[in-house]
């Protein structure tokens, strides 16, 4: 078996990568375990120096890395450069803060000295998706390696070049050999890796279906697991919302990465007062976005990462229209080569339609009318997902109350679109997964919180 890198614009094969055999996988895991024995004793100063070198290389190579992302999954060059820069940010963040985050915490007891100590677990397995092929990896790798763990990466099968480039970045930065390694294996072989006694934990970013499978396997072998899964993020537009700004923020969020983002705005829930104006504004703003070659700087929307993903998206749109949703823009597969799907708007979306109930992983805005604020909150929470949510209102205190107390999601924003930030914990609830990445909480996921008691 091999992994093919295929250009979603031309459908041409760029390169093939040989998969690892079972003996090779066993050797890679053994090397990772051996590397852990010395890496866990490496000082924070030394780890920080190496992580800062990775950050510098990401910035130096951002143009080439962006080109690689564009070739393998269709991301626009400007978005690819931004992704590389964000990866450098998370590397520097943990290089600066990891030691403080992992300081012993003194605890009161009847001992003469008692405290919690944060110790690395060992070899970690990361199963990562194609949509942000560098960022998803680095937001796991930076805290995990700074904590003293070693890492194995099973990346998505359609971005093997990105996986290889990430391993090269760590090697070129001077990280000890085998601290970070790729595994070119199929999904069918993942259980064998999780089952290996030397692998201590697993993290997955991907679909809810994949998350359930990995969680079941991790549970079977009693391995720690963190899951960041799909979302159908609701954005509530209240009567007093700053409408022009809300439209701009919603459209920006919906079209990031051609709509292929777990935390992109997916369902726009608008109270009756603003519904017609909001619909008109979104249609106009979406209409102005340029779909085309992701290598061209003026392009706003590149192709979907694969043709089968584009076709699945269109099927969800078509079923929603058949159920009564009103297509106002796009909603048709364009002719010609490439797995493109246009900026699209569906109005009159209702519960029971795929556009309401499922995650639309592409540039499709689903607009829903709510009677009032309470109805909008009800509709926002009427989902199996719980990753991100946002509310737009001129009443900042009320917006904060809704975000804090009413919305069922892991990340709730007021008057802005949801995004990940190294300084803030990130993750979801319900079928959007569990555990947290980033910030203090992210680095604490994969350490042993060890109680030390001295009488």
Annotated catalytic residues are 228, 262
C-alpha 270/C-alpha 277 separation (Å) is 10
In this structure, what token pair is assigned to residue 197? 């006694």
Does residue 104 contact residue 117 with C-beta atoms inside 8 Å? yes
As a whole number of Å, the end-to-end CA separation of the chain is 58
Q: Which of 271, 290, 256 is nearest to 368 (CA)?
A: 271
The bridge status of strand 199-205 relative to strand 411-414 is unpaired
Q: How far apart are CA 432 and CA 208, in angstroms?
A: 7
Longest dimension (CA), the chain: 75
Count other C-beta atoms under 10 Å from residue 394's C-beta: 12
SS (H, E, C) 86-129: HHHHHHHHHHHHHHHHCCCEECCCCCCEEEEEEEECCEEEEECC
Beta carbons within 10 angstroms of residue 275's beta carbon: 18
Closest CA to 147 of 53, 42, 33, 35: 42
Question: Can you tell me the distance from the alpha carbon of 407 to that of 388, in angstroms, rounded to the nearest whole number?
Answer: 9
Assess contact for 397 and 409: CB atoms under 8 A.
no
The size of the chain, in residues, is 455
| Alpha carbon distance 156, 131 (integer Å) | 9
CB 309 within 8 A of CB 157: no
One-character DSSP codes across 341-364: ---EEEES--TTSHHHHS---SSE
């Amino acid at each position: 078996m091999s992994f093919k890198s295929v250009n979603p614009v031309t459908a041409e094969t760029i390169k093939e990568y040989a998969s690892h055999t079972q003996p090779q996988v066993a050797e890679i895991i053994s090397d990772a375990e051996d590397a852990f024995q010395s890496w866990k004793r490496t000082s924070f100063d030394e780890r920080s120096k190496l992580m800062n070198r990775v950050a510098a290389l990401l910035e130096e190579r951002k143009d080439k890395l962006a080109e690689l992302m564009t070739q393998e999954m269709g991301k626009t060059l400007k978005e690819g450069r931004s992704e590389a820069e964000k990866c450098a940010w998370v590397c520097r963040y943990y290089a600066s803060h990891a030691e403080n985050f992992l300081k012993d915490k003194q605890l009161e007891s009847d001992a003469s000295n008692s405290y919690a100590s944060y110790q690395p677990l060992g070899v970690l397995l990361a199963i990562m998706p194609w949509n942000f092929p560098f960022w998803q990896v680095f937001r796991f790798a930076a805290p995990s390696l700074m904590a003293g763990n070693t890492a194995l990466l099973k990346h998505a099968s359609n971005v093997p070049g990105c996986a290889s480039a990430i391993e090269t970045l760590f090697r070129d930065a001077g990280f000890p050999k085998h601290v970070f390694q790729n595994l070119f294996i199929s999904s069918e072989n993942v259980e064998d890796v999780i089952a290996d006694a030397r692998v201590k934990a697993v993290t997955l970013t991907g679909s809810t279906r994949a998350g359930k499978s990995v969680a079941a396997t991790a549970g079977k072998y009693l391995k720690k697991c963190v899951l960041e899964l799909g979302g159908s993020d609701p954005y509530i537009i209240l009567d007093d919302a700053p409408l022009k700004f809300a439209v701009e923020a919603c459209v920006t969020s919906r079209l990031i990465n051609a709509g292929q983002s777990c935390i992109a705005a997916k369902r726009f829930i608008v109270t009756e007062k603003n519904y017609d104006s909001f619909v008109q504004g979104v249609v106009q703003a979406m209409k102005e976005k340029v779909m085309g070659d992701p290598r061209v700087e003026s392009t706003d929307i590149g192709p979907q990462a694969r043709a089968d993903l584009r076709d699945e998206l269109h099927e969800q749109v078509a079923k929603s229209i058949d159920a009564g949703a009103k297509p106002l823009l796009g909603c048709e597969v364009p002719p010609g080569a490439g797995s493109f799907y246009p900026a699209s708007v569906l109005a009159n979306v209702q519960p029971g339609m795929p556009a309401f109930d499922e995650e639309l992983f592409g540039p499709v805005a689903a607009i829903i009318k709510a009677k009032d604020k309470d109805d909008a909150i009800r509709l926002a929470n009427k989902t199996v997902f719980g990753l991100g949510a946002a509310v737009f209102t001129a009443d900042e205190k009320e917006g904060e109350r809704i975000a804090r107390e009413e919305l069922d999601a892991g990340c709730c924003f007021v008057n802005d679109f949801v995004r990940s930030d190294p300084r803030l914990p990130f993750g979801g609830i319900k079928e959007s997964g569990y555990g947290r990445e980033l910030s203090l909480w992210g680095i604490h996921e994969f350490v042993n919180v060890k109680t030390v008691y001295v009488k």
